[in-house]
Structure 1
Amino acid sequence: MRVTCPIHEGARRHPDAEALRFEGRAWTYGALDAEVARWTAALESRGLGQGDRVALLSTSHPAVAFLFWALGRVGAVFAPLNARLTGAELRPLLDAITPRLTLALEPLRDRLPGAQSLESLAEHASGASKSLQAWEEDLPRVILFTSGTTGRPKGAVLTEAAFRASCRASSANLGAHPAPRWLGTLPLFHVGGLAMLTRTAYEGGCLLLHERFDAEAVNRAIDTEGASHASFVATTLERVLDARADRSLPDTFRCALIGGGPVPTALLTRARAAGLRALQTYGLTEACSQVTTERPDEADGRTAGPPLPGLEVRIVGTDGVPLDVGQEGDVEVRGPTLMAGYWNQPAATHEALHDGWLRTRDVGVLDARGRLTLLSRRTDLIVRGGENLYPAEIEAVLANHPAIAESAVVGVPEPHWGEVPVAFVVLRPGHALPGDLDVWCRQSLARFKVPSRFVVLETLPRNAMSKVERTVLRRQAMSQRMYQAGS
């Protein structure tokens, strides 16, 4: 199927509607369309065309949006690189995609020798391009590298069709909105950030783009810029509520999607008291962001919700056979949002995709209402004395302790049991490590699930995509003397 650029369509239908806002400056659809046309001319002057890859190293910036839509108009593929990576980490990614053009935001150019300046790309463009060719929905649109917590990063190939299907599915779940105004606090090198960028364009809304997360700026956008939707994790949600001192949110704010792991019950209660509807969600890059999300009228914070309309989720055993409701196993996803595959990695693609299903390598369980509870990555599973332990289940219990800001649980070898869980915890300000954490855990967990010990850290180690580096924690746990308190 062929489609046209949604920015041009927006300029034709509602040219004066706001499409993008950044640091006090706003672009209407008409103005954004003209800017994209100028950037398209700049790309054409460099000979960029169908299938060419363009690598970009940048934080969130309006120029990223201009480039993204201009690349669509010439048929080139957008390959954003994580702005937190070092030069040594970036080099193999560039080698993998062999870009025709490499760009970087000026302050980051030293990490990519030879990269051209993003900000100056369109400075000398001769006029605006008249190119408005239709886009083939099934051709590669974006290559997004996975976080690499379980090995070498892989480039997930996402199509225009996948982004549009993701938008339709999310909109069907959240309900119609005449012009959503999404808070763009997730980086545009992340699938969540690109989901907001594309979603607002398809729906005639506005992206309120922030270079980085700042709780005060988020609250200003909510209170004065009409933000209607946002995506948070538990820690950023808490910072937003703290910064506004739990003041009620205006009626213009519709809901926030909460990802990244368990959310403390007390935090959800705070959010509801402030009029903030928080919907837990589960997604991944290979499925173009969201897979499951709580229904707005059924949200209770106990699960990540059912599959979005048009998507399917099933739980299978290690033999690939589908399991019944309530049985724990591997999560698989099917639907129009799935990636086309991994860039130039046929073996990895074959391993991940089979018969239309995506093997996520996550472990979970579905309840009788089709709602997903995510338990762990398959590689994070802890097997103690033949019993499966899931870090997310233990972390959810720790998250509700008033002294614990966040935690991560890993398994380490132990001669008698095979593996035992060790919990790394970050304390809230003013708190010492509670002496009753094992007692607290036993109120909600079977004895064999209680961590053998609790280790205090100032912060959890995270990779460039902000995911906890459990391999680092395992090494640290194994280098320390084991003892049996709480086991």
Structure 2
Amino acid sequence: MSDPLRAAAHAHPDAPALDDGRRVWTYAELDAAVGRMARRLAPLGAGPGSTVALVAHPSPLSVQAVWAVPRTGSVLAPLNPRLGAATMERALEAIGPDLILSTEHDVSDMALEADWITTLDDLPRPAGGEGGADATPEPESRPFALLWTSGTSGDPSAVPILASALEASARACVGRLGLTGEDRWYASLSLGHVGGLALVHRAAYAGCLLLVRGQFSAEVLAELIERDGLTHTSLVPTMLARLLDSRKGESVPSTLRCLLIGGAATDGALVTRVVEKGYPVALTYGLTEACSQVATAPPDLVAEKSGTSGLPIDGLELRIQKDGEIYVRGDTVSPGVADEEGWLATGDLGRLDGDGHLWITGRISDRIVTGGATVHPRSVEVVLEALPGVSAAAVVGIPDDVWGEAVVALIVLDPAGEVDPKALMAQARERLSASELPRRIELADSLPLTANGKTDRDSVRALFLGLSHA
């Protein structure tokens, strides 16, 4: 099994690899620390045939664990510490870890009994001392990691991620975004998110510096942009909106090269606003089963065609089925999720323009059938979010005796917005077809989100159903 960190340590041992704001590790130092951690984990049950869960935000110890666990021969299973108790329980039951790792700082932030957890802060030294070699890697067919995800089917499951897929994804992203050893990337996403895990490999593959500051903070990101020469970070749209709020009126330094936006259907109006403020935005479409990125539009393309996810990354093919579903095939697709010809049905809807650029239009499971007409919620949300005074919108369908389903919308206004629902409905009526027009609009201070920053449509639907029965 390839080890990009070890390769980086041999290629440029003195280059900076990891920065937590207090210390900077070179690639040689990080590689040595990972080796020590692997040897300390082995007596605790990590080794060939075992699975080790890692429940921690990005930190020096958790990044070391991402590399150390596979070096023991174990399969890594990173989980977001912010998962709710029920979700965490389901994930652990499905994964069946032999060992659960975290840090002292993260233990208080999760829905787990502390007695079940081994903290990385003070791992016992092996009886024979720190010497010895790492475990012999298992064959390439053994997963590097298992990632818990709602998946293409909508049914939560643990998806196997191969080391070869992570390397192929890293290679393609480095090429698409022009990442170099001089770049500095802030780890904003959970290690339990495919984007967060893929970043650790991408940074090592490129030989760049990974900045870790724990759980995402827009204020921390703003400071890194302004004072630390940050060049790259990955964000979901809600994070992007929070960054704008924290940097109102601030100019964009020339050192910032790319905000990589993905993880949810991206608001075209938000992207346009961000680009107009001078931020270099890249848009990506991806999924866990394809090891992160499927198609990525670099900043120059986004500035020209705001909203597109661009061309598929190197090593991947795309096709659009007659019903609009996106199919993917290539080097980064996980084993066991594709058909006999290698095509993965993503459950997402999209189209290709004349240049072969991908545009995401929604998700099959989100489609609303009202009065015999099919409505794509994301298409309605884009229109609503373009209305004056609207910051965000979530559109869902709820049961209706006459129409089968009724289209409803939860709206978040700009902080200075004073638009009432009737006025919004009047404006929407001018821009939407009769079937797309929400039958009800409610206002909220914010949209409910999942742990990965996506709109929680089930919660939105439950809100409207609760109001219907109130």
TM beyond 0.5 = yes
Distance change >3 Å, CA 191–CA 309, structure 1 → 2: same
Q: Does 1:388 align with 2:388?
A: no
Matched with 2:64 is 66
Contact in 2 for aligned 1:262/1:395 (Cα 8 Å): no
Question: Greater CA deviation, 439-448 or 247-256?
Answer: 439-448
Residues 461 and 270 of structure 1, relative CA distance in 2, 3 Å threshold: closer
Verify the 8 A CA contact 1:312 1:333 in the aligned structure 2: yes
Unpaired stretches in structure 1, ≥5 consecutive residues: 317-322, 342-348, 483-487
Instruction: Name the stretch that deviates more: 465-474 or 182-191.
Output: 465-474
Deviation at 1:428, TM superposition (A): 2.2
**Which TM-score applies when normalising by structure 1?**
0.87
Match for residue 389 of structure 2 among 360, 378, 403? 403
| Higher alpha-carbon deviation: 236-245 or 194-203 | 236-245
Partners of 1:375 and 1:392 within 8 A in 2? yes
Task: Give the secondary structure class of the aligned counterpart of 2:225.
Answer: helix
Q: Does 1:366 align with 2:366?
A: no
How far does the alpha carbon of each residue in 1:233-253 deviate from its partner, in whole angstroms, 9 at most, with x for none? 333223323323343322222
Q: 1:456 aligns with which of 424, 427, 443?
A: 443
Of residues 14-23 and 241-250 in structure 1, the stretch that sits farther from structure 2 once superposed is: 241-250
Please state how far the C-alpha of 1:400 moved relative to its aligned partner.
2.0
The CA deviation at 1:42 is: 0.5
> Does residue 1:330 correspond to 2:325, yes or no?
yes
Please give the alpha-carbon distance, in whole angstroms, between the structure 2 residues aligned to 1:242 and 1:463.
Answer: 21
Partner Cα distance (2:357, 2:436) in 1: 23
Moved more, 371-380 or 155-164: 371-380
Match of 1:214 among 213, 217, 230: 217
Please tell me the residue identity of whatever aligns with 2:147. Answer: L
Aligned partner letter, 1:124: R
Cα distance, 1:228 vs structure 2: 1.5
Question: 1:217 deviation in Å?
Answer: 1.2
Opposite residue 315 of structure 2, the aligned amino acid is: G
Task: Report the counterpart of residue 20 of structure 1 in structure 2.
Answer: 18
When the two chains are superposed, the root-mean-square deviation of aligned CA atoms in Å is 2.5
User: How many Å separate the matches in 1 of 2:111 and 2:132?
Assistant: 31
Is 1:38 aligned to residue 24 of structure 2?
no
Q: Which amino acid aligns with 2:52?
A: V
Give 1:396 shift.
1.1
**Structure-2 residue corresponding to 1:192:** 195
Q: What's the secondary structure of 1:84's corresponding residue?
A: coil
Counterpart-to-counterpart distance in 1, 2:318 and 2:426: 36
Structure 2 residues without counterparts, runs of 5 or longer: none
Residue 455 of structure 2 aligns to which amino acid in structure 1? V
Cα separation, 2, equivalents of 1:112 and 1:290 = 34
Q: Following TM superposition, by how much is the alpha carbon of 1:123 offset from its aligned partner in structure 2, in angstroms?
A: 4.6
Query: Identity of aligned pairs, percent?
Result: 39
Q: How does 1:460-471 map to 2 (within 5 A)?
A: 460-471=447-458
Query: CA, structure 1 residues 102+238, in 2 after alignment: closer, same or farther (shift >3 Å)?
Result: closer
Q: Please say if 1:49 is aligned against 2:52.
A: no
What is the rounded CA distance, in whole Å, between the counterparts of 2:95 and 2:265 in structure 1? 35
The change in CA–CA distance for 1:396 and 1:102 in structure 2 (over 3 A counts) is: same
* Partner of residue 250 from structure 1, selected from 253, 270, 274: 253
Q: How many residues align?
A: 461
Go from structure 1 to structure 2 and tell me whether the alpha carbon gap of 1:87 and 1:452 turns closer, same or farther (over 3 Å shift).
Answer: closer
Match of 2:315 among 307, 310, 315: 310
Q: 1:178 offset after TM fit, Å?
A: 3.5
1:230 maps onto 2:217 in alignment = no
Mapped to 1, the partners of 2:435 and 2:91 lie a distance apart of 42
Checking the alignment, whether the CA contact within 8 Å between 1:148 and 1:154 is kept in structure 2 is: yes
Distance 1:86 1:402, change over 3 A: same
Deviations along 1:280-323, one digit per CA (max 9) or x if unpaired, are: 2211111111111214432221322221222111111xxxxxx3
Instruction: Give CA deviations for 1:250-285 in whole Å, capped at 9, x if unaligned.
Output: 222211111244545554344334432112221111
Aligned partner of 1:166 among 158, 165, 169 = 169
Question: Which residue identity does 1:157 align to in structure 2?
Answer: P
CA-to-partner distance for each residue in 1:310-369, whole Å, 9 max, x for gaps?
A: 2111111xxxxxx3xxxx52111111111123xxxxxxx4xx544201111122222222
Task: Give the Å deviation of 1:128.
Answer: 4.6
Which residue number corresponds to residue 76 of structure 1?
Answer: 74
User: C-alpha separation between the residues in 2 aligned to 1:264 and 1:89?
Assistant: 28
| Structure 2 SS opposite 1:449 | coil
After superposition, the Cα gap between the structure-2 partners of 1:405 and 1:24, relative to the gap in structure 1 and judged at 3 Å, is farther
